[in-house]
């Protein structure tokens, strides 16, 4: 019986890293997750066999992790997030989302060249797209430090693949959500807003442009595609998306209808939250992933939004019960 494969998952405390750890564990891997120095062990504890501290800004730290773990596969999710954070710290974003990826590739090249590497890229590399939908050949023209750093990382993945013969792939991930999505993202704002209003904890929800459109999918589907990328015969980059765009208005309708409410009675707009729209819609063409990986998204956006609302309802009910219990404590 052969020994189980070892997967190194960076950014394991985040949405994608946690889902990846759970998928890999279910596939029989030994899963090693990384944490930032001093942050402790967090997230997906049941799926992670060991935790290691990794400073992606330091080459020696990166070399040590690759040497000690000896991974068969590396999944890099460690990054500044998109959304409102795309302009938060341009230099820091460049370091973490860009140069840290180069350090990781360099460590793999020198220490564990047989390892396979999957880099979580982003549709933000397309930025000011000139055609829609976007496939792997679409022009890259980012319009934020986040997108620029991701594009640098993608370029390094291609260079290390072509020049050093590493099995390295970039997954160009379009928007992907789950119940683990952070509160700063519009999908979570909406699911939490619908849940709060239905429970009488809030009476309105303010958002930006309700007609803004995105290609939103389920994060678990996207993570599964990344795993399939590393099981393929040849290393290639892939657009991972749903191929369908929805508006923020659609998200509101899905969420509020789930709790029996008409979103138009509760959702308002705040011009300060508007983001300049793309001239060409960002929608992924997943033909290559369907053809080569035999991958397709499984979870519909309406179903996903219902799950997110149910999750937030449960969280808010528990919080309300805890708060009520504390207020009734006679001590």
The tens digit of pLDDT for each residue in 247-284 reads 999 999 999 999 999 999 999 998 766 666 667 888 99
Q: The domain 186-213+245-281+300-322: what is its CATH number?
A: 3.90.25.10
> How many angstroms separate the CA atoms of 129 and 6, rounded?
38
Contacts of 288-293 spanning 24+ positions with Cβ under 8 A: 288/135, 288/136, 288/236, 288/238, 288/239, 289/225, 289/238, 289/239, 289/240, 292/232, 292/236, 292/238, 293/225, 293/228, 293/229, 293/232, 293/238
213 vs 48: CA distance, rounded Å: 36
Q: For the segment 73-105, what is each residue's pLDDT rounded down to a tens digit? A: 999 999 987 655 677 789 999 999 999 999 999
Instruction: Quote the pLDDT of residue 36.
Output: 82
> 185 near 83, Cβ under 8 Å?
yes
pTM of the model: 0.93
**Could you say which architecture CATH assigns to the domain 6-178+216-240?**
3-Layer(aba) Sandwich (3.40)
Tens digit of each residue's pLDDT (9 = 90 or more) over 214-239: 999 999 999 999 999 999 999 999 99
Q: For the residues 308-313, what does the mean pLDDT come to? A: 98
Q: Which one is catalytic: 29, 75, 146, 238?
A: 146
Q: Where are the domains of the chain?
A: 6-178+216-240, 186-213+245-281+300-322
Residue 124 appears among annotated catalytic residues: yes
Whole-angstrom distance, CA of residue 133 vs CA of residue 131: 6
Asked if pLDDT for residue 327 goes beyond 70, the answer is: no
pLDDT of 276? 67
Report the pLDDT value the prediction gives residue 3, as an integer from 0 to 100.
87
Identify the active-site residue in 13, 82, 122, 178: 122
Q: Which of 29, 64, 59, 60 is nearest to 44 (CA)?
A: 29
Assess contact for 18 and 40: CB atoms under 8 A.
Answer: no
Among candidate residues 29, 44, 82, 124, the one labeled active-site is: 124
């Amino acid at each position: 019986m052969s020994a189980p494969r070892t997967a190194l998952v960076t950014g394991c405390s985040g949405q994608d890293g946690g889902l990846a750890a759970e998928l890999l564990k279910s596939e029989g891997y030994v899963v090693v997750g990384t944490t930032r120095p001093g942050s402790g062990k967090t997230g997906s504890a049941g799926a992670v066999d060991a935790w290691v501290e990794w400073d992606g800004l330091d080459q020696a730290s990166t070399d040590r992790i690759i040497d000690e773990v000896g991974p068969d596969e590396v999944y890099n999710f460690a990054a500044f997030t998109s959304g409102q954070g795309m302009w938060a710290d341009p230099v820091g974003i460049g370091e973490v989302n860009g140069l840290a990826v180069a350090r990781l590739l360099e460590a793999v090249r020198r220490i564990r060249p047989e390892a396979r590497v999957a880099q979580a890229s982003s549709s933000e590399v397309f930025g000011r797209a000139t055609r829609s939908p976007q496939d792997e050949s679409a022009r890259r023209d980012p319009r934020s430090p986040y997108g620029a750093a991701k594009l640098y990382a993608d370029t390094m993945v291609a260079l290390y693949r072509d020049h050093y013969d590493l099995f390295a792939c970039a997954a160009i991930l379009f928007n992907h959500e789950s119940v683990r999505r952070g509160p700063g993202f519009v999908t979570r704002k909406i699911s939490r807003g619908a849940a709060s209003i239905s429970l009488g904890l809030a009476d309105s929800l303010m958002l930006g442009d309700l007609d803004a459109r995105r290609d939103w999918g389920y994060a678990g589907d996207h993570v599964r595609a990344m795993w399939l990328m590393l099981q393929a015969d040849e290393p290639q980059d892939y657009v991972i998306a749903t191929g369908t765009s929805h508006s923020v208005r659609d998200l509101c309708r899905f969420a509020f209808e789930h709790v029996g409410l008409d979103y138009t009675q509760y959702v308002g707009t705040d011009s300060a939250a508007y983001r300049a729209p793309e001239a060409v819609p960002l929608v992924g063409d997943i033909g290559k992933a369907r053809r080569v990986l035999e991958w397709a998204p499984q979870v519909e956006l309406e179903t996903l939004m219902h799950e997110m609302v149910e999750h937030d309802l449960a969280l808010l009910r528990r919080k309300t019960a805890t708060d009520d219990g504390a207020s009734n404590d006679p001590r």
